[in-house]
Amino acid sequence: MTASTIARNTAAAGGDGAGKKPPRVPRDRTSLWRKLVRDRLLWLCLLPGLAYFLIFHLGAAFGMVIAFTDYWPGISVAQSNLVGVETFQKMFGDPDFWHAVVNTVEISLLQLVFYFPVPLGLALLLHSLTSTTIKRLVQNVVYLPHFISWVIVVALFQQILGGAGVVNGFLADHGLHTVDIIGNPDAFKPLLIAQVIWKDSGWGTIIFLAALAQVDDTLYEASAMDGAGPWRRFWHVTLPGIRSVIVLLLVLRLGEVLSVGFEQLLLQRDAVGPGAGEIIDTYVFYKSLGGGGDFPLAAAAGIFKGVIGAILVYAANKVAHRLGEQGVYR
């Protein structure tokens, strides 16, 4: 059966059911088809990305159903029994879970306050460089740590700051007090932020630099002629020029407020214990893949994270609109 015969049959069937109403739909279809044909190249470019989201995000989201069952690896989802919201009750009743949530939010806020502005500042500094050679060189150097895996970054920090590391070795050799950083729960959260800044602030400049490049140079010239110093030019030209990008990134960041970097934490959690190092993701890991085998709980925590993230994005977007910004979407 060819496409056109099916379409004809369908149209005929639709006609029977709809009585005497004029067949309005086919005209729309044709125009959609025409649009598709006209923009076929764009659609083709979009296809792989669309397939990715359909299969790995939307498709995988159906797996959330296991949060409401007693599934365990070894049986299929279809074989497991529905248990309703029992898993959620168990999770919300577990003090360890709330402890992990508190840690996660703390780390997330620290990242927001101390990490988020760093790429912006770095981008502004880079943007103010006049020599393109130096600018390129610095850019490349600060991008590099992004490509180093967390295992290496954590080992690097340990080799430098650890109890048997370079810094403490130097201090001990000179009869000075050694410092307790790695494995010290009190120093753990600042250490995490320092690692993120070292690793990713360079990479984070890319979007800001692109935004800065969009700011019209004539505005700088005009304000300079009006007697504006560097600080006033930054305040009245640069910042308004990139404000929408900052707000956009901030809103997106809020959506991930409960994801603070699984690998980084998993690698270091045991050294400081769950008191300082347990986040939602490691809590979930130890309850499921890491030995506990409680997959419904892992799915429930995933849903919890998703719902909170969605609410925050929605709220932040509304606030952005109130402030007269575009936000992520209208």
Partner 1 sequence: MSSELSRRSVFRAIGLGATAVAVPSLISACGDGSGGGGVGNAGTEQAAWPTYTAAKVPAPDLPGDGNDVQNGYTKYPSQVGTATNGKPGDGSVVKAVVITYGTPPGPKETNKFLQAVNEALGIDLQLTVVPDADYQAKMATLMAGDDLPDIMNIGGGYILPREADFVASKCADLSEYLSGDAVKAYPNLANIPTRAWKDMGRVKGRIMGVPVERPAPGNIFFANREMWKGVGVDDKAFSAGGWTSTDLLTAAKALTKDKKYALGASKSGNFGLGVHAPAWGAPNLWKNDGGTFSSYFTTPEFKQAVAFMRDLFAAGVYYPDALTVSQVDAKTHFAGQITGSLTDGFGAYSQMVTSAKGAYTVAPALPYAGGSAGGKIFAARSVFGYTVLKKAAPERIKLLLRVLDFLAAPFGTKEYELVHYGVEGTHFTRDAAGNPVQTDLWKGGENKTNLPITYLCDAPQVLFYPGVSPEAIALMHSFEQKTAPNLVRNPAYGLVSDTASKSEAAIRKTITDVLNSVVMGRASLDDWDAAVKRYKADGGDKIGEEYGKEYAASK
**Interface residues with partner 1 (CB under 8 A)?**
3-4, 6-7, 10, 26, 29-30, 32-33, 36, 70, 72-76, 78-81, 96, 154, 158, 162-165, 168-169, 172, 182-183, 185, 268, 270-271, 273-275, 285-295
Least distance in angstroms from the C-beta of 126 to partner 1: 34
Q: What are 307's two structure tokens? A: 């719902």
| Comparison of 7 and 42: residue with beta carbon closer to partner 1 | 7
| Comparison of 163 and 241: residue with beta carbon closer to partner 1 | 163
Least distance in angstroms from the C-beta of 18 to partner 1: 15
Least distance in angstroms from the C-beta of 87 to partner 1: 14
Least distance in angstroms from the C-beta of 272 to partner 1: 8
**Cα–Cα nearest to 98, from 279, 276, 307, 269:** 279
| Comparison of 17 and 73: residue with beta carbon closer to partner 1 | 73
| Comparison of 33 and 98: residue with beta carbon closer to partner 1 | 33
Least distance in angstroms from the C-beta of 131 to partner 1: 42
Neighbours of 245 (CB within 10 A): 18
Least distance in angstroms from the C-beta of 102 to partner 1: 17
Long-range contacts of 251-255 (CB under 8 A, 24+ apart): 251/313, 251/316, 251/317, 251/320, 251/327, 251/328, 252/313, 252/328, 253/112, 253/116, 254/309, 254/312, 254/313, 254/316, 255/309, 255/310, 255/312, 255/313, 255/316
What Cα–Cα distance (Å) separates residue 123 from each residue in 129, 134, 148, 322? 10, 14, 21, 27
Burial state string for 184-203 with b = 16 or more CB within 10 A and e = fewer than 16: eeebbbebbbbbbbbbbbbe
| Comparison of 33 and 235: residue with beta carbon closer to partner 1 | 33
Q: What are 163's two structure tokens? A: 């109890």
| Comparison of 183 and 241: residue with beta carbon closer to partner 1 | 183
Q: Measured between alpha carbons, how far is 187 from 167 in angstroms, rounded to an integer? A: 16
